[in-house]
């Protein structure tokens, strides 16, 4: 078999996988929107602060809204345990080596979601590459970029930024101690995707968290596709 034929078959297989995932994601989105649930997909590198951010969001939503979280990791239930400690329902998906969540994994959890839910947050596997290619049924996709990662990531990993609705800059309390140019990071991201809504946050100081939560609440109240 020629190399050209092998490459052609590889392309067809990848297209089939992504096509199947997109179909399942559309079904998930339809079901969750019918229930009035706003679904948000968090993507980032490992250690960017996704779980810490979700803990702070839980604190701010608990007085008037119900949220749940799906956690994606290669191994352990550590992140789900942190979320459950906040009194928030959480499900851990361990991929056993896969670098991203897929829609079929999320679909299995839908029957377990409690009634009256307002928000479903999906914390994807820590990775700026693979998760960007897989929809999970979310209405909003947020990419997180932490100060310790450096300011050059948007153009090195463009798809994570071009497919997202908002950019959440995290761990900004560390900026004084790092060679990090926040304005450069924002500029690069917005050059790739001018539609990005940008939030500057710190889970330690609380910077920007109220604005971020207000954005999610406004998005919940906004009709889908509006």
Which structural domains are found in the chain, ordered by start? 3-221 (3.40.50.300)
Residue for token pair 């920007």 = 208
**Per the confidence metrics, is the pTM higher than 0.85?**
yes
What residues does 70 pair with on adjacent strands?
Answer: 91, 122
Q: Does residue 1 or residue 139 have the better pLDDT?
A: 139
pLDDT tens per residue, range 197-226: 999 999 999 999 999 999 999 999 987 765
- Taking residues 27-42, what's their average pLDDT? 97
**Which tokens go with 41?**
């997909």
Please say if the pLDDT value at position 51 is more than 50.
yes
Element (H, E) at 100: none
CA distance 218 to 205: 23
Of 18, 35, 82, 75, give the one whose Cα is nearest residue 55: 82
C-alpha pair distances (Å), 62 with each of 52, 86, 95: 16, 9, 29
Residue for token pair 């067809």 = 12
């Amino acid at each position: 078999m020629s190399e050209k034929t092998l490459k052609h078959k590889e392309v067809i297989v990848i297209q089939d996988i992504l096509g199947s995932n997109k179909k399942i994601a559309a079904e998930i989105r339809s079901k969750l929107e019918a229930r009035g649930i706003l679904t948000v997909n968090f993507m980032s590198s490992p250690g960017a602060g996704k779980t810490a951010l979700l803990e702070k969001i839980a604190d701010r939503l608990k007085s008037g809204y119900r949220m749940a979280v799906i956690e994606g990791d290669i191994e352990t239930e550590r992140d789900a345990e942190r979320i459950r400690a906040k009194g928030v329902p959480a499900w851990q998906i361990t991929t056993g080596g896969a670098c991203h969540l897929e829609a079929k994994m999320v679909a299995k959890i839908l029957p377990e979601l409690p009634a009256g839910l307002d928000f479903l947050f999906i914390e994807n596997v820590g990775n700026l590459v693979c998760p960007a290619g897989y929809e999970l049924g979310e209405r909003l996709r947020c990419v997180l970029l932490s100060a310790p990662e450096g300011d050059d990531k948007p153009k090195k990993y463009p798809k994570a930024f071009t497919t997202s609705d908002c950019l959440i800059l995290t761990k900004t309390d560390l900026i004084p101690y790092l060679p990090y140019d926040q304005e450069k990071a924002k500029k690069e991201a917005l050059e790739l995707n001018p539609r990005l809504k940008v939030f500057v946050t710190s889970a330690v100081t609380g910077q920007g968290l109220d604005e971020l939560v207000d954005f999610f609440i406004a998005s919940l109240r906004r009709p889908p596709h509006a």
